Amino acid sequence: MILASNSQRRQEILKDAGFNFRVITSNIEEISDKENVIERILDIAEKKLEQIAKNNVDEFILAADTVVELNKNIFGKPKDRKEAFKFLKTLSGKIHKVITAYVFKNISKNILIQKVLTILTLMILSMTLMFPVQTFAEDNTPTIKLNINGTYKINPYDYVKKTDVGNNTQLDFNITNSQNAGITVNKDTSEVNFIGKAAGNSVFTISIQGKVVYTINVNVNANNKNEATNLNPIPR
């Protein structure tokens, strides 16, 4: 099965349900001329799916799109972290609708299932809960850009405060969307080598005893040079 979404939450749900799947994301512009909100998000979900399905006619493909509605105002995917905080401030403590359209299709088997789910919810929202950090890449966010099959190497200890790291403290590494970018770690030098796999976005985190202390967005694109921006080592 193919999941046409980079959503970490959707990936977690499928994994928890026992599904084997791979992620292929579309690059469509998420717009629709439909006026009705349900028709609009269903239209966008269908467009995401169709772009993937045309080259994978024998695969089962799942695509989705979600918006939040409050007092007839629609909140889609925020453009950046600033807009996300604005959305959260507006929604926090108020009953609102979370509307998700799902489309499931297999062209060769002539299977098409469409479903729209609306949930009424009241939350005291947080940035982490509603909009995970990997969703955003601000202009000043540390970023590594990779070409497909390109590499970039860092020493993670250069980006961690010396006071946080004792001589025996081990750093833990995690990268999301490992189908887009992978890492290898040199056990002798502790250097981390990033490897571009497929076009898309990932997030690399450095943690100490479960606490994330540094985050790097990783962008893989066939047109990228292998370079980093705003990746500023801490002076020693």
Q: What is the pLDDT of residue 167?
A: 60
- As a whole number of angstroms, the distance between CA 51 and CA 7 comes to 17
**CATH architecture under which domain 143-229 falls:** Sandwich (2.60)
In this prediction, residues 208-227 reach a mean pLDDT of: 88
In this prediction, residues 177-182 reach a mean pLDDT of: 86
- As a whole number of angstroms, the distance between CA 80 and CA 129 comes to 16
- CATH tag for 2-135 (out of 3.40.50.300, 3.40.190.10, 3.90.950.10, 3.40.800.20): 3.90.950.10
Residue predicted with more confidence, 103 or 123? 103
In this prediction, residues 184-205 reach a mean pLDDT of: 90
Q: What is the pLDDT of residue 233?
A: 84
How would residue 138 be classed by pLDDT, with cut points 50, 70 and 90? very low
Q: To the nearest whole percent, how much of the chain has pLDDT over 70?
A: 88
Give the model confidence (pLDDT) of 1-36 as tens digits: 999 988 878 888 888 889 899 999 888 888 889 988
Q: Would you state the structure tokens that stand for residue 227, as one six-digit string?
A: 């370079």
In this prediction, residues 168-185 reach a mean pLDDT of: 84
Domain definitions of the chain by residue range? 2-135, 143-229
65 included as an active-site residue? yes
Is the pLDDT confidence value at 83 over 60? yes
Q: Is 116 left (phi over 0), alpha (psi -120 to 50) or beta?
A: beta
Q: Which residues contact 159 (CB under 8 A, 6 or more apart)?
A: 142, 206, 214, 231, 232, 233, 234
Q: Which residue is catalytic, options 16, 33, 43, 65?
A: 65
In this prediction, residues 39-57 reach a mean pLDDT of: 92
